Amino acid sequence: MMTFADYLAERLKYLGVKYVFGLPGGPSIPYIEAYRRASIEFILVSGEASAGIMASVSARLTGIPGVCHATFGPGATNLSTGVGAALLDRTPVIALTDEIGDKMASRTVQMNINHQKLFAPLTKATFRLDLQGAPDMIEKAFEICLSEYPGPIHLGLPADIASGNVGASAGRHKAKAPGAFPGNRPAVLSLIAGSRKPLVAIGLTSARLMPQRDLLDWLERKEVPVVVTPMAKGILPEDHPCYAGVLFHSLSGQLKELTGKSDLVIGLGYDPVEYNYESWLPDVPLIHLNTVETDLPGTGTTVQYTGSPAEWLALMDGLTPANDWRGRQLVEPVRQGMASAFARFTGRFGPVSALTILQEELPSDVIVTADVGSHLHLLGQLWKTNGRKNLLMTNGWSGMGFGIPAALAAKLVRPAAPVVCITGDGGFLMTAGEIMTARRYRLPVIFIVFSDGELNLIRLKKARQKLSPYGTGLYSGELFGSGTFLGIPVLDAGSGEQLKSAVRTALSGGGPVIINAKIDPDDYDALISGIS
């Protein structure tokens, strides 16, 4: 026999969990102590939303469910923002919240809301635990969390069960294989056999599951042009003969030179949570290959098939592109067009110049986390991953405030890798308190803030509707009024040379550093199109 708090910690330990991210309340204390006894480190954050984001990113990088813990009421509602990121970015997260005990759960009580109703639309499943059913509920929750699509589950912990006794636990839990929905295999094969100008669109599921070597081998044989969604960035080197660019991000309109001439689109692990097909799909048949059945456009010829990445590649083995529809001869003009467009904006200290300098100055194995905003649209297209999955963003959830907690989680689970966060000043202000988390745990992350004093992406959207920038200004004067912020050094950079110097100084230090890059935002007006 063991206490429930120790039982839960033991089950998390069996899953391989090393960290629990959270902000405790009184009822959390027995669990924090149980985590400590199980050698699971409790990472104290400044805001519960960050705890959910950090759990999501740790899961993305390790494959082990991330865990976050908050108290009831406002702790739970704050946590829900990070849990939503796990749901739509497809990462396995176990969200724990304290709840009012059974005796008072239905009464009017301070901080009391129904957590199951709160988390039901944000998770794959939510459970309010009790001592008798807890072992079965926890195992069922773990199974749901890890099955396709992976995502968050919520476990409510009534305040009166932590010290109760439960029986010894079973062995390590293993996730089940995805359920089968084979779809119309003959129709898939028929479309593949008839195509001479196929285009492959690689998405989030491939980024999670596709062995890169298998994909490279297949492309070497087939030489089919490829576009990727933002979160699949890094599945191919940007100089690969078949790689054309990123859908949805800056200058992606130039991809129409390629997509508009195809006679078949194959969504390879494509998840519409990032970018709906109908937002860019030409009037040609669509084959959607994924691990789960997906809601798809109701017009045109659309066929889907679910299975493993190995099955997807085997199905596509019958592709025989025309000789004039192969590899570099198609994608190189598109890539050169994008490169030329970006090059026109390197004469001033704007986001293109800043990103170009960062690419040159940062080490090749750097992990970059990107917040949401105008800078992300440029970064997603312009940044070179060189085939490393080292650019972390949120595109399913697309919540501002992602960049800083994501960088902290990356540094915790990949301590040997250099980690850099690139954020706008709006995203920085949302989670600025987590700079103290970096200081508390001595995490040498470089936080690069593109400071332009506004919510630029919203201003652009308003301008395209011929509206004033009302409601988009963030501050007047300087973002940082001194050389430190919460005890962390702030290095100002108002030019390319200053940015180079600041990056070199930051890389040579042993702790967290903020670089305040005071950019000219005019690049965005010309380089971001198609937003609404």
Residue 172 lies in a domain: no
Q: Which domain holds residue 119?
A: 2-166
Residue 339 lies in a domain: no
Last residue of a domain, one of 308, 334, 360: 334
Residue 532 lies in a domain: no
Predicted confidence (pLDDT) at residue 493 exceeds the cutoff of 60:
yes
Distance (Å, rounded) from C-alpha 334 to C-alpha 261?
Answer: 13
Residue 10 lies in a domain: yes
Indicate whether 374 and 499 sit together in one domain: yes
Q: What angle (nearest 5°) sits at the alpha carbon of residue 393, between those of residues 304 and 437? A: 140
| Chain mean position to CA 7 | 31
List residues bridging with 98 in a β-sheet: 157
Predicted confidence (pLDDT) at residue 177 exceeds the cutoff of 70:
no
Q: Supply the pTM of this predicted model.
A: 0.94
Last residue of a domain, one of 312, 334, 356: 334
Predicted confidence (pLDDT) at residue 529 exceeds the cutoff of 70:
no
Distance (Å, rounded) from C-alpha 40 to C-alpha 33?
Answer: 10
CATH of the domain at 160: 3.40.50.970
Last residue of a domain, one of 309, 334, 359: 334
CATH of the domain at 190: 3.40.50.1220
Indicate whether 401 and 467 sit together in one domain: yes
Token couple for 482? 């001194």
DSSP letter at 484?
Answer: E
Predicted confidence (pLDDT) at residue 436 exceeds the cutoff of 50:
yes
Indicate whether 131 and 197 sit together in one domain: no
Predicted confidence (pLDDT) at residue 113 exceeds the cutoff of 50:
yes
Residue 416 lies in a domain: yes
Q: For the chain, first and last CA: distance in Å?
A: 58
Predicted confidence (pLDDT) at residue 343 exceeds the cutoff of 60:
yes
DSSP letter at 241?
Answer: T
Predicted confidence (pLDDT) at residue 433 exceeds the cutoff of 90:
yes
Indicate whether 360 and 443 sit together in one domain: yes
Indicate whether 353 and 498 sit together in one domain: yes
Please write the tens of the pLDDT for every residue from 293-332. 999 887 779 999 999 999 999 999 999 999 999 888 899 9
Residue 171 lies in a domain: no
Indicate whether 356 and 292 sit together in one domain: no
What is the Cα gyration radius of the chain?
Answer: 24
Distance (Å, rounded) from C-alpha 86 to C-alpha 95?
Answer: 10
Predicted confidence (pLDDT) at residue 472 exceeds the cutoff of 90:
yes
Indicate whether 375 and 514 sit together in one domain: yes
Indicate whether 125 and 197 sit together in one domain: no
Closest by CA to 444, choosing from 513, 392, 516, 490, is: 513
Residue-level pLDDT at 432:
97
Share of the chain above pLDDT 70, in %: 96
Closest by CA to 320, choosing from 222, 465, 452, 455, is: 222
Residue-level pLDDT at 168:
60
Residue-level pLDDT at 409:
98
Indicate whether 82 and 212 sit together in one domain: no
Predicted confidence (pLDDT) at residue 418 exceeds the cutoff of 90:
yes
Average pLDDT for residues 433-440, to the nearest whole number? 98
Torsion of CA 74, 76, 78, 80, to 10 degrees: -150
Residue-level pLDDT at 360:
97
Closest by CA to 229, choosing from 258, 193, 253, 205, is: 205
Indicate whether 302 and 320 sit together in one domain: yes
Residue 137: band (very low, low, confident or very high) from pLDDT cuts 50, 70, 90: very high
Please write the tens of the pLDDT for every residue from 236-247. 999 999 999 999
**Main-chain phi, psi angles of 380, to 5 degrees:** -60, -35
Q: How many domains does the chain divide into?
A: 3
SS (HEC) of 286-303:
EEEEECCCCCCCCCCCEE
Token couple for 25? 């309340």
Please write the tens of the pLDDT for every residue from 250-294. 999 999 989 999 999 999 999 999 999 999 999 999 999 999 999
Indicate whether 149 and 7 sit together in one domain: yes
Share of the chain above pLDDT 90, in %: 87
455-458 CB contacts, 8 Å cutoff, 24+ apart: 455/373, 455/424, 455/426, 456/373, 456/374, 456/424, 456/521, 456/524, 457/373, 457/374, 457/377, 457/524, 457/528, 457/531
Residue 174 lies in a domain: no
Residue-level pLDDT at 178:
46
Indicate whether 191 and 161 sit together in one domain: no
Residue-level pLDDT at 152:
98
In terms of pLDDT, which residue wins out, 326 or 18? 18
Residue-level pLDDT at 298:
74
Distance (Å, rounded) from C-alpha 366 to C-alpha 144?
Answer: 33
Burial code of 357-393, b = ≥16 C-beta within 10 A, e = fewer? bbeebbeeebbbbbbbbbbbbbbbbbbebebebbbbb
Average pLDDT for residues 92-96, to the nearest whole number? 98
- At 471, which amino acid appears? G
Supply the mean pLDDT for the chain. Answer: 93
Residue 461 lies in a domain: yes
Predicted confidence (pLDDT) at residue 104 exceeds the cutoff of 80:
no
